[in-house]
Amino acid sequence: MAKNIRLTLFLVPFILLSRTVFPEEFVYNGFNGVEASDVSVNGVAEIEKNGALRLTNETSRVVGHVFYKSAIKFKNSKSGKVTSFSTCFAFGIVPEYSKLGGHGLAFIISRTKEMKGALPSQYLGLLNSSDVGNFSNHLFAVEFDTVQDFEFGDISDNHVGIDINDLESNASVNASYFTEGNSTKQNLVLQCGKTIMAWIDYDSIRNILNVTLSMSSKKPSSSILTFPVDLSPILEESMYVGFSASTGLLASSHYIFGWSFKMNGEAQSLDLDSLPSLPGPKKHQTILIVATSLSAVIFLAFGLMLALYVIWKIKNTDVIEPWELVIGPHRFSYKELKKATRGFRDKELLGFGGFGRVYKGTLVKTNTDVAVKRINHEAKQGLQEFVSEIATIGRLRHRNLVQLIGWCRRKDDLLLVYDFMPNGSLDKYIFDEPRVILTWEQRFKIIKGVASGLLYLHEEWEQTVIHRDIKAGNVLLDSEMNGRLGDFGLAKLYEHGANPSTTRVVGTLGYLAPELTKTGKPTTSSDVFAFGALLLEVVCGRRPIEAKALPEDLIIVDWVWDKWKEGAILEVVDPRLNGEYDEMEAVMVLKLGLMCSNNTPSKRPSMRLAVRYLEGEVALPETLAAPDEYDGKKGGTSGKEFDDYVHSYHPRLISRK
């Protein structure tokens, strides 16, 4: 007995050692019989009767997670180095509609199984808007994404990406796989409704991560994505492994059919034939009505005519899908808009908006003139921009915003219906050689109107809306020459006080705030910068950047600033006004334009303060910071140095007081 005890005590260190040295491994060939203690399932995820693990269903904006039951030791305690690991799994994505679904799934290594606060849609159930990009996340993921999200710089709507603490992929590639022998690389549609095999292998010796896909059980020798990375700073000593998936406005069912994992070795391959089968696409039942007929020829002819009629009817019928019922406002029929625009003929074309053409139309029932924006369905951004405009503009109400009154979707045709602005866009009245010259009173009223509308977007609505493309071409004029902001295709909506996060720089050259090229994150301050450019161009009658306007290209901010320093600020006022303008108001607008155009975001006024300046409620400061100062450094390219501040008022105006 004593001998056995001594032997047991002798073997204990070796037993403990074996638990840390030998790799941890598990294999699930389907999930039949898997108990709750074996895997952790949360959100809408569930194990189906056939043994398939369904992460999401066809419900909009939901999240599903599944994790292995216990944490896995990834690091060597002494070296702090992450150990090599490998995983193999079979997955499938079935979109709710044949070509429309979302958002995708991801294999993840996380410090927690709960994933509290993780959002659906583009966040894939991994993170939320406040923790995206935080090093403290200690999150590693390989995403299989079926929606192109520009906020995170997605390369397409069918890609594989490696994400570290962020949803902007460190490396990504369009989904594909190599055939046997690695002779041919084939494109692969992730939401094809078929089972796809995936392998993710991390080599801690070479610090290389490989992602491999296949449509068969055999693993190709060539991976589709190879990324050099040391995961030691990212992964903690013990982490959880699992999967996450989410849906957005459109939904997909995301499945895992089998899963193997191994530390310090290659994960066991799975046999597709032994795994649960993937549900096929929904099949529409066909009801056959057999009628007795004296003539087979007549019966066949009737059937042919009926088929042709059904095809014609389907082709010309608006299909209303569930997600379309919750994004309001009024939904027009395609037939109604086609009739209103006279078949979208070229004579009714008003111009080109973001991602499509804009036509004038007249609604027959109410005899109301409207503008119909027909979004180009070939643009990859089409559906996203369409939903963005409906969801945002449809609920906004302000006299200085172009009102969205309705919309329509027919197959690939995406249409938005706005109030018609009979006087067109502002740029046609201030640039080049306009047919009508706006008076100073009209210009000042337009400026104040746009400022009021922008203040509403930034601070007065229930959420903050960043327009991101403020320019003269997006300021439309109604019958009374009131300025209204339009074209919200690039609008970024977020909760008040939240930090917007995007890495896609959007907008128009000359209106882009300098910090956008560094951070890629739009803010209300970047909108103020664009508003500053608008102020200057309305007063000067010049574009923000004019090629070869002078002996060299003209940058309107630099030009106005130089004239300000020279004490000749009124020389920049549009000469087509023939001196008929309020000099005090003109100087005030020019000065505000320079303040808004400051390279340092903190030195720009808020839109609330800008409106108070324009309304005369508050006097502008007596000194003006040089607009080319950025982060405390003078950044002018001319080489001229200038004191921090200059006196604000023109000498001629001071003498008149």
Q: Give the residue ranges of the annotated binding site for ATP.
A: 373
Residue with tokens 């998936």: 245
What's the CA angle centered on 59, arms 416 and 404, to 5 degrees? 15
Instruction: List C-alpha distances in Å: 126 to 106, 142, 190.
Output: 9, 11, 19
Based on the residue annotation, tell me whether 469 is a catalytic residue of this protein: yes
Residue with tokens 């006279």: 342
Number of Cβ within 10 Å of residue 555's Cβ equals 16
Cis peptide before 621 (omega within 30 of 0): no
Please spell the DSSP secondary structure of 262-293, one letter per residue: EESSPPPP--GGGSPPPPPPP-----------
Of 75, 415, 101, 486, nearest to 255 by C-alpha is: 101
Cβ distance 203 to 230 under 8 Å?
no
Length of the chain: 657
Q: Beta 356-363 vs 140-145: how paired, if at all?
A: unpaired
Tell me how far apart the alpha carbons of residues 219 and 261 are, in angstroms, rounded to a whole number.
15
Tell me how far apart the alpha carbons of residues 47 and 255 are, in angstroms, rounded to a whole number.
10
Largest CA distance in the chain: 113
Beta strands in 530-575 (DSSP E): 545-546, 554-555
Instruction: List C-alpha distances in Å: 362 to 355, 375, 390, 421, 590.
Output: 22, 19, 21, 13, 40
Tell me how far apart the alpha carbons of residues 351 and 357 are, in angstroms, rounded to a whole number.
6
Residue with tokens 């209303």: 320
Nearby residues of 570 by Cβ (< 8 Å), 6 or more positions away:
583, 586, 587, 650, 652
Structure tokens at 414: 């995406």
Tell me how far apart the alpha carbons of residues 595 and 619 are, in angstroms, rounded to a whole number.
13
The residues facing 546 across adjacent strands are 554
- Residues 469, 487, 527, 628: which is the catalytic one? 469
Nearby residues of 613 by Cβ (< 8 Å), 6 or more positions away:
588, 592, 605, 620
Residue with tokens 């989410």: 246
Please list the active-site residues. 469
